[in-house]
Structure 1
Amino acid sequence: MGNTQLSISGEKFLINGRLTYSELPNSPASTHGLLMNARFIQGVFDDRAQQERFARFGRKTFDPDLHTDELIAALPEWYAHGLRAITVGLQGGGPVFTIEDWSSIDNNPYSADGLSFDPAYEARLHRLLKAADEIGMVVIVSLFYQAQIHRLRDGEAVRNAIKTACGILKKGGYTNVIIEVANEYEIAGFLAYPIISSHQGMAYLIELARESSGGMPTGSSLMGGATNEEVARASDVILIHANNCTRQEYYNMIQKVRGWQMNKPIVCNEDSPCIGMMEVAYKTATSWGYYNNLTKQEPPADWGITEGEDTFFARRMAAGLGIELPPLEEEEQFVLQGFEPHMTVDNKRWIRLASLYPERIDYVEFFRNGELVDLAFNEPFMIRNQTTWIQDAWVMTEEDKEWKAVVHLTDGRSIEKKVTLS
């Protein structure tokens, strides 16, 4: 029996028989039973193809064991701000900003037939699950990712891999695990495997994972904004993604799922850095998942609560849960990001304006050396925005001397944030 024993009652989660967050003296009753979470998908990451390319962001080497241990070391700080779950992928996720061909990464613990599991991955997974268990956190273990699934030879290998991974979880006796069979199972990389990419096949795999794990709560996610009733009925936890959704679209998705009257927890375990979406989660009493590509999905990840987006997410989460923190002055509620010393690859930087209250922003102007280069009207406020979770890079040159963001607030005021480069 673990220290953190997760159970489910209707739509609500309990840890050790008590509704989550009910232990916090100032927590609103509407938050009791939620599972606020973050996508730390690279928690057991390695690249056996070209490990040396991840010796970056100020690192001279990439050490997969150190990478996992640094995540473990960061968990208590996140817990103190209210985070109660993280999503970790056995096949990781995509370094969206820096690697074009994700399939060139060999981040896969399964043999081609799915019957064996890499001992190094297993050791990292056990350390992480045990560390989370010790402090009261849940780990959503995602079994398959589209860019690595091709390393399994066929549908039989997929079934074998589920039995293998879930057998490891069962043998570990973990009581703080939720299983996500596949991350966005209908996405292109899975189409060669109908047993994963079809709704009927996924419903079967969810049942297989539940049985093979000894009854651990199980589900699977679709792409942002998508849902499926058959898969939801097969699931113990209804996992949804909200990437590139507006707040209204996210709300409508939750209402659609609730309309099926399944009385199961609804957990968004992937969205974006759009922390304004948390208001929808709190209003609907559903769980929300923060997803920061740059700080948490580009290996080596900086697992701590970094300045800017991470800090503002942590503070907004804490505020919604009744966790009191020292207030920030208004000037501290805005950060012009992308200029952190080591957050660059091939002179590329990802420039954006982070805010504690993005809902109060009308639009943001970005200036380079006094010249307007871009405007952002929606959260997250990024130059060269593509979606809520992707932006194109700015290639820095010696001509980049000063960057400035002029933040136009909805109350008519404006605030400037400036970075001067040496």
Structure 2
Amino acid sequence: MGKTVLSIKSDKFYINGSLIYSQIKDSNPDAWGLLMNARFIQGIFDDKAGKSRFNRFGRNFDTEQNTEELITALPEWYQYGLRGFTVGFQGGGPCFTMDNYSIDNNPFSSDGKEVEPGYLKRMEKLIRAADELGMIVIVSFLYGAQTRFLKDDEAVKHAVKKASNWLRDMKFTNVIIEIANEHNVDDFKIHPIVYTEKGVVDLIKTAKEESGGIPVGCSGTGGYFSEKIAEVSDVILIHGNGQTRQQLYNLIQKAKSIKPLRPIVCNEDSQALSQLQVTSKMQVSWGYYNNMTKQEPPVNWHITSGEDLFFAHRMAEVLGIKTDEIPFENQFYLQGLEPDMTYEQKRWIRLASLYPEKIDHVIFYRNGEYFAASYDDPFMIHFICNWLQGAVTGTKAGEEWVAEVYLTSREKIVKSCRLLS
């Protein structure tokens, strides 16, 4: 048995018999039993189709180093209250820069009966490091395009069995299983056992049995909800990405209607921190998802400036964990203009803020000329939805970018940045 033993009573999480966060002095009792988490899906990432493609952003990618660097960063996140993170056997898509069908990040044999030892070794390292800290790992088995390497539904079932058996045999006590990341995406249509409600229900039952009772759930796309899947799940996994705050509230209401009660965990949303207003009031666990800072290899797993730091502070605030106050002028950050944060002459520029709820709109200027306006959190140029934006192309060293931030209080804040590279 590990140092960190997860248990569930009604809709609350316990570690070693105590409600999560209840051990923290002066913490918020309304947050006790939650599992604040982040999507660190690429924690054991590899690409057998060509790792050298990921030598970018001013860094080189190394498979083992990637996992070790995440382990090194976990204590930073822990101190702000992060107690869970999702990591995938098949990873996730670097959605901004590459086609996931060009990547081979699949550890399973075509019949699903074997798992590559390197993936198991890295996953074990992560889970044991989390166990030492007092953290929970949501282990995601299947990811969209990567399941194309599994030849049929029977192979998918074998993969779920194999991964579940491995978690059981390792005697991990700090794990939640996610059968698939967003099982209803079109990528899964080739495998009805994942794509359909009935198939997922069967896979959840299989994972429960084959894992020896590890809690199991399965997510769908942002806003998606299946009563049948929720009713058979130990943990109801929902995604808030692409949802307004009202839509997220409505989704949570559906999940809360399932009886008997069980924990509801949003394990993927966006970097839209205003979503935390909804989940904290509803006493639901929230999952930070930032594709650019935490899903595009090579990932800097530390708490980076801007969005990562602001999420960490807002999480601590929700939980009642005391942190150093961020001065008002530093509560706004022009993101995406950092040196080397470019790919094929593209940048993803946005205005990060500690309290996006206080912003009415943002106007962006490039070399003194109007470029774009943004009205929704997160305040991104070429906004598509709250986790996805289009790129700004052709940026050059020496350019000056300015964001005029208009607050609901009618104050105006100006942030500027001159590109160094």
| TM-score, normalisation: structure 2 | 0.98
How far 1:55 moved relative to its partner?
1.1
| Structure 1 segments unaligned to the other structure (5+ residues) | none
How far 1:74 moved relative to its partner?
0.3
Question: 1:148-185: CA deviations, max 9, x gaps?
Answer: 00000001100110111111111110000000000000
How far 1:281 moved relative to its partner?
1.1
Quick check: 1:37 aligned with 2:11? no
Calculate percent identity across the aligned residue pairs.
54
How far 1:260 moved relative to its partner?
2.7
Instruction: Report the more deviating stretch, 130-139 or 25-34.
Output: 25-34
The AA in structure 2 aligned to 1:293 is N
Contact 2:230 2:258 in 1 (8 A): no
How far 1:399 moved relative to its partner?
7.8
Contact 2:399 2:418 in 1 (8 A): yes
- Distance across 2 between alignment mates of 1:201 and 1:383: 40
State the partner residue of 2:232: 234
State the partner residue of 2:171: 173
State the partner residue of 2:23: 23
State the partner residue of 2:330: 332
DSSP 3-state at the match of 2:145: coil
- Distance across 1 between alignment mates of 2:385 and 2:395: 25
DSSP 3-state at the match of 2:413: strand
How far 1:400 moved relative to its partner?
5.8
The AA in structure 2 aligned to 1:159 is K
How far 1:262 moved relative to its partner?
2.9
State the partner residue of 1:157: 155
- Distance across 2 between alignment mates of 1:335 and 1:148: 35
- Distance across 1 between alignment mates of 2:189 and 2:183: 9
Quick check: 1:91 aligned with 2:90? yes
State the partner residue of 1:198: 196
Contact 1:26 1:321 in 2 (8 A): no
* Segments of 4+ moved more than 4 angstroms: none
- Distance across 1 between alignment mates of 2:418 and 2:126: 40
DSSP 3-state at the match of 2:49: coil
The AA in structure 2 aligned to 1:35 is L
- Distance across 1 between alignment mates of 2:300 and 2:216: 28
Contact 1:36 1:85 in 2 (8 A): yes
- Distance across 2 between alignment mates of 1:334 and 1:383: 15
State the partner residue of 2:306: 308
User: After superposition, where does 1:6-405 map in structure 2 within 5 Å?
Assistant: 6-59=6-59, 61-99=60-98, 101-398=99-396, 401-405=399-403
How far 1:261 moved relative to its partner?
2.8
Question: 1:233-271: CA deviations, max 9, x gaps?
Answer: 110000000111111111111112212333000000000
Question: 1:72-131: CA deviations, max 9, x gaps?
Answer: 0000010000000000010000001110x2111000110000011101101100000000
- Distance across 2 between alignment mates of 1:399 and 1:155: 51
How far 1:396 moved relative to its partner?
2.9
The AA in structure 2 aligned to 1:33 is G
How far 1:205 moved relative to its partner?
0.2
- Distance across 2 between alignment mates of 1:193 and 1:336: 42
| TM-score, normalisation: structure 1 | 0.98
- Distance across 2 between alignment mates of 1:26 and 1:312: 21
DSSP 3-state at the match of 1:110: coil
| Structure 2 segments unaligned to the other structure (5+ residues) | none
How far 1:420 moved relative to its partner?
1.6
- Distance across 2 between alignment mates of 1:15 and 1:369: 53
- Distance across 2 between alignment mates of 1:81 and 1:398: 36
Instruction: Report the more deviating stretch, 291-300 or 336-345.
Output: 336-345
- Distance across 2 between alignment mates of 1:292 and 1:325: 22
Q: CA RMSD in A?
A: 0.9
